[in-house]
Amino acid sequence: MVTPVSKLDQLPRIGPSLSQKLATLGILTVEDLIYYFPRAWEDLTQLTPISHLIPDGQKRTIRVKLSGINTFRSPYKKMMLTQAIATDPSGTLPVIWFNQPYLRTTLKTGNEYLLTGKVEKRSGKLTLVSPEIERASEVPVHSLRIVPIYPESGALSSKIFRRLCANLAPIIRQVEDYLPESIRKEYNLVSLPEALLHLHFPASLEFLQSAKDRLSFDELLLTQLSVQSVKQFLQSTKAEPIPQEIEFIKEILEKLPYKLTVGQKKALWEIVQDLSDTKPTNRLLEGDVGSGKTIVITISMLVAAKNKFQSALMAPTEVLAYQHYQSIQPLVEQFGFSCRLHTQSFQLGPETADITIGTHALIQESITFNNLNLVIVDEQHRFGVEQREKLKKKGIVPHFISLTATPIPRSLALTLFGDLDLSVISEKPIGRKPIITRALTPQEHGSAYKLIQQEINAGRQAFVITPLILESDRLNTKSAEKEFKNIQTLFPHARVGLLHGRLTTEKKQLVMSAFKNKLLDILVATTVIEVGVDIPNATVMLIEGAERFGLAQLHQLRGRVGRSMYQSYCFVVPTEEEEEIMKRLQIFAQNTDGFKLAEMDLQMRGPGSIFGKMQSGFFRYRLADWTDARAIKQAQEAALKILAESPNLDKYPSLKKKVTIENVTVHSE
Ligand code: ADP
Ligand code: MG
């Protein structure tokens, strides 16, 4: 029998090639498929008579017989065209499909079909263009219902997902509901199987809403359960205090090539005060890109080292771990302490080092610390009870600091991260010149290229960012691979590098080091370079396909330059010149405040779009609106009720399992 935990190939009609494609999306089991949620829904419940069709850009379904089915090669565009005439009692209509020559044999004159698509005027005649086809004798999947649209994913169309999910109903009914019955009743929520069923195939818009209500409640509840259990856990544990070492800190500050900003000093002060207490530190350090979070935590780790405690710093990727190591190690050694890099591909420095830098796998691996007392996580995930339990020795847990560059309004941070104290660095180091930002139309590329050349001539470096790695036939957006060639042609005398997520870690490392060591002039990259990359000599950031990024994300990218006394520049160029898009990019060009841009993004594009990156860093909401303070409060209240009844969630083992799983999110490019 196929159950939710079965491997996908146990389902009918899933062969090796399809399961391989699904695996690249992380869909390995039936349950993964069930949890691959649609991103939108189309109401196609109505059948439309042919005589009522108008070219209004809306999809409609007609129920018709076909005649005159004919496939031929179009004379000028070298395309295979299939034409037919559709007939229903109200009238007739020409239909056309492109490049689907097999239709000639699969479509049969006289059979009844459901065709779903848009009508357009073609050579003066209303025509149904490339409709989806279903036999009228079969239960419809793509029409006559509220039809789910799945996230765009290369070779896997919504159509394929719909067909796969249409078979899942009996298995979805077996999904265990992990939510306590009492909570479900109290908050008026449908059962989990019912919610999952109606999310994929809603019986009505009302059922869809109740499915969304239930599943978004769950998302918020799981975060709150984690937040609240961390809070309770911390109340039940102690930490070893790390004394403040004021003199030592003064000594470090004197040796720095710059003065700390007011925000940095305040954050450092808050942290060292926390660390000197027996209550475990649990602090979120928030600061815009380039605000200088690294030095603040480096000093904190040095203070720990001075007291003979070990520290660990975890970054989201190996590239960033390596970068942290490069910038932190010299300072640490200057003060007579040792620093170590430990990732899958790199092991540098002594095993007994005072400070260990790695990826989030540091904690999961069996690497041993003999006196770990400070854990710092950069842009990664929340640090849950599970991980703290692992590090606990004789009831004592290490101090914990989390770093983020996402500007989260303070009030929201308090509801979301009820367990964390908050430090904010709100200003940039003094002496930095504001980055000159210009929104260019694709025709104006020349001025960006001219400036890149000028900066290279002056010994500076440039980034060129594209949204995609490879060319896509569906989107004509620039890809890193193609842009790499383009830039090489445009700058024949420059040394150009390419960086994206599909390169091996060693290759990425090599490219990053080469760029850092000024062996490359221009780096063409995807957003793999987004978080934390520090190349002070880079002064130009050219962002291609800029319409595909949120304002907050553009701001993060812009923050990769302007990290020195040199004047820096940022160019944002959309794929196509379009008024709305240019307007949005102009707004970006005129604003330098990350918090403000995040807020505007929120207004213009809704919460989902901007905080995508942060969601992957801290938690992943697909349905819940994490800016909805009322819904979060409600989830918090429910979480407290459940924890009051069963402090360790032992009464609800399947819920407990969910909380830990949801807690550790994997950062993806
Ligand atoms: P982020 O907060 O984005 O992690 P970093 O810590 O990487 O920022 O700092 C960005 C750059 O600014 C680094 O090159 C760092 O050496 C430098 N920096 C940090 N603090 C100051 C300061 N107070 N004055 C001048 N430069 C600073
Ligand atoms: Mg950083």
* Ligand 1 lined by 532 (C-beta under 6 Å): yes
pLDDT in tens, 529-547: 655 567 899 999 999 999 8
- Mean pLDDT, to the nearest integer, of 626-648? 86
- Mean pLDDT, to the nearest integer, of 382-397? 75
Report the SS3 class of residue 482: helix
The number of the ligand nearest the C-alpha atom of 258 reads: 1
Query: How far apart are the two ends of the chain, measured CA to CA in Å?
Result: 36
- How confident is the prediction for the chain on average, in pLDDT? 86
- Mean pLDDT, to the nearest integer, of 603-618? 48
Answer yes or no: is pLDDT of 269 > 90.
yes
* Ligand 1 lined by 427 (C-beta under 6 Å): no
Residue nearest to atom 17 of ligand 1 (CA): 292
User: Which atom of ligand 1 is found nearest the CA of 264?
Assistant: 23
The count of C-alpha atoms lying within 13 angstroms of the C-alpha of 34, restricted to the half-sphere facing its C-beta, is: 27
pLDDT recorded at residue 396: 84
For ligand 1, the distance from its centroid to the CA atom of residue 563, given in whole angstroms, is: 7
Q: Which residue has the tokens 């050349």?
A: 453
Give residue 299's Cα distance to chain centre.
Answer: 30
- Indicate the top mutation candidate among 291, 294, 425 to test ligand 1's pocket, ranked by most ligand atoms within 8 A of CB: 294
pLDDT recorded at residue 473: 46
User: Residue 405 burial (CB < 10 Å; 0-12/13-18/19+)?
Assistant: buried
Measured between alpha carbons, how far is 224 from 643 in angstroms, rounded to an integer?
Answer: 10
For ligand 1, the distance from its centroid to the CA atom of residue 342, given in whole angstroms, is: 23
Measured between alpha carbons, how far is 405 from 427 in angstroms, rounded to an integer?
Answer: 12
Answer yes or no: is pLDDT of 475 > 60.
no
* Ligand 1 lined by 594 (C-beta under 6 Å): no
User: Which atom of ligand 1 is found nearest the CA of 425?
Assistant: 2
pLDDT recorded at residue 616: 39
For ligand 1, the distance from its centroid to the CA atom of residue 292, given in whole angstroms, is: 3
Is the CB of residue 138 less than 8 Å from the CB of residue 113? no
pLDDT in tens, 105-118: 899 998 999 999 99
The number of the ligand nearest the C-alpha atom of 561 reads: 1
Residue nearest to atom 26 of ligand 1 (CA): 429
Largest distance between two CA atoms of the chain:
91
User: Which atom of ligand 1 is found nearest the CA of 287?
Assistant: 2
For ligand 1, the distance from its centroid to the CA atom of residue 533, given in whole angstroms, is: 11
- Mean pLDDT, to the nearest integer, of 116-130? 93
pLDDT recorded at residue 433: 83
pLDDT recorded at residue 427: 79
Length of the chain: 669
Residue nearest to atom 10 of ligand 1 (CA): 290
* Ligand 1 lined by 405 (C-beta under 6 Å): yes
* Ligand 1 lined by 429 (C-beta under 6 Å): yes
* Ligand 1 lined by 564 (C-beta under 6 Å): no
* Ligand 1 lined by 292 (C-beta under 6 Å): yes
* Helices 246-255 and 293-306: angle between axes, nearest 10 degrees: 130
- Mean pLDDT, to the nearest integer, of 514-524? 95
The count of C-alpha atoms lying within 13 angstroms of the C-alpha of 417, restricted to the half-sphere facing its C-beta, is: 24
Residue 308 zone, left/alpha/beta (φ > 0; ψ -120 to 50; rest): left
User: Which atom of ligand 1 is found nearest the CA of 261?
Assistant: 23
- pTM exceeds 0.85 for this model: no
| Identical topology for domains 176-309+371-431+628-669 and 436-591 | yes
Measured between alpha carbons, how far is 142 from 163 in angstroms, rounded to an integer?
Answer: 8
Is the CB of residue 476 less than 8 Å from the CB of residue 575? yes
Q: How many helices (H) and strands (E) does the chain have?
A: 25, 21
- The CATH code that applies to domain 436-591 is 3.40.50.300
pLDDT recorded at residue 669: 26
The edge-to-edge listing of strands for the beta sheet with 461-465 is 436-439, 569-573, 538-544, 461-465, 522-525, 496-499
Give the CATH superfamily of 46-144. Answer: Nucleic acid-binding proteins (2.40.50.140)
pLDDT recorded at residue 612: 46
For ligand 2, the distance from its centroid to the CA atom of residue 219, given in whole angstroms, is: 28
Is the CB of residue 486 less than 8 Å from the CB of residue 522? no
Residues 6 or more apart from 399 whose CB is under 8 A from it? 239, 242, 274, 275, 280, 281, 282, 373, 374, 375
Could you tell me the residue ranges of all domains in the chain?
Answer: 1-44+156-165, 46-144, 176-309+371-431+628-669, 436-591
For ligand 2, the distance from its centroid to the CA atom of residue 536, given in whole angstroms, is: 13
* Ligand 1 lined by 563 (C-beta under 6 Å): yes
b or e along 466-488 (b: 16 or more beta carbons within 10 Å of the residue's beta carbon)? bbbbeeeeeeebbbbbbbbebbe
Is the CB of residue 204 less than 8 Å from the CB of residue 146? yes
pLDDT confidence of 613, banded at 50, 70, 90? Answer: very low
Domain with residues 176-309+371-431+628-669, CATH architecture: 3-Layer(aba) Sandwich (3.40)
pLDDT confidence of 412, banded at 50, 70, 90? Answer: low
pLDDT recorded at residue 382: 60
How many CB atoms are located within 10 Å of the residue 525 CB?
Answer: 28
Residue 532 zone, left/alpha/beta (φ > 0; ψ -120 to 50; rest): left
For ligand 2, the distance from its centroid to the CA atom of residue 318, given in whole angstroms, is: 14
Question: In the chain, pLDDT over 90 holds for what percent of residues?
Answer: 51
pLDDT recorded at residue 620: 58
For ligand 1, the distance from its centroid to the CA atom of residue 290, given in whole angstroms, is: 5
Measured between alpha carbons, how far is 14 from 27 in angstroms, rounded to an integer?
Answer: 12
Answer yes or no: is pLDDT of 308 > 60.
yes
* Ligand 1 lined by 258 (C-beta under 6 Å): yes
pLDDT recorded at residue 660: 61
Measured between alpha carbons, how far is 155 from 397 in angstroms, rounded to an integer?
Answer: 47
Answer yes or no: is pLDDT of 332 > 80.
yes
Task: Tell me which of 48-52, 55-59, 226-230 is least confident.
Answer: 226-230
Measured between alpha carbons, how far is 11 from 166 in angstroms, rounded to an integer?
Answer: 12
pLDDT in tens, 422-448: 888 887 787 778 899 999 999 999 999
pLDDT recorded at residue 217: 95
How many CB atoms are located within 10 Å of the residue 319 CB?
Answer: 24
For ligand 1, the distance from its centroid to the CA atom of residue 178, given in whole angstroms, is: 45
Residue nearest to atom 24 of ligand 1 (CA): 429
* Helices 594-605 and 579-590: angle between axes, nearest 10 degrees: 160
Per-position DSSP letters for 498-545, written without gaps between them: EE-TTS-HHHHHHHHHHHHTTS-SEEEE-GGGTTT---TTEEEEEEES
pLDDT confidence of 391, banded at 50, 70, 90? Answer: confident
User: Which atom of ligand 1 is found nearest the CA of 295?
Assistant: 6
Measured between alpha carbons, how far is 252 from 257 in angstroms, rounded to an integer?
Answer: 10
The number of the ligand nearest the C-alpha atom of 377 reads: 2
* Ligand 1 lined by 116 (C-beta under 6 Å): no
* Ligand 1 lined by 295 (C-beta under 6 Å): yes
* Ligand 1 lined by 560 (C-beta under 6 Å): no
- Indicate the top mutation candidate among 293, 379, 563 to test ligand 1's pocket, ranked by most ligand atoms within 8 A of CB: 563
Give residue 215's Cα distance to chain centre.
Answer: 19
